[in-house]
Every structure is written in structure tokens, then in C-alpha cells.
Amino acid sequence: MEGGGLDALRAAFDEYDEDGNGVITAEELRRALRRLNLDGMDLTAEQCAEIVAAVDSDGDGVISFDEFKAMMSKQA
């Protein structure tokens, strides 16, 4: 991924990373998805924790930008 695509991905990541600490927590993910209101989907905290765990390749309990980038490249 290069140039504008990486910038767009960083902007999307920053939308989820509410406190700007460089990682997305399960609660930040939950709030972001709620803001987006995807098809009325209202995930529980447990479901968001499961999503984070599935993407969290280093096991630190949060989603880093590199993990987010890897997740998004699999979706494409």
C-alpha cells in the first residue's frame, strides 16, 4: 500500500483511536462502530474484545496501526 492509500488508512485508524495513543482498544472499537451505525449493528463489549483478539497479532490486547493495516489488507 502506498501514498494516498496509506494516508487514508491512517485517517481511518485515527477515527477509531479516540485518545490518540496509537492503538485501538475494544471500547474504542465499540464506540466507533456505534458512531458509524453499521446496519444498526450494536456489538457488545465482549464481541469487540473478540474482534480485537482476532486481529491482535502480538497479544498486547489492543490493535496497533500495523495490525489494523494487515486486517484491512485482508478485507480488500
Q: Could you tell me the residue ranges of all domains in the chain?
A: 3-74
Q: Are 52 and 26 in contact (CB under 8 A)?
A: yes
pLDDT category of residue 3 using cuts at 50, 70 and 90: low
DSSP at 19: T
Beta strands in 1-69 (DSSP E): 23-24, 63-64
Instruction: Tell me the percentage of the chain whose pLDDT exceeds 90.
Output: 64
Average pLDDT for the chain: 89
Please state which architecture CATH assigns to domain 3-74: Orthogonal Bundle (1.10)
pLDDT tens digit sequence for 28-65: 999 988 888 765 667 888 999 999 999 999 999 999 99
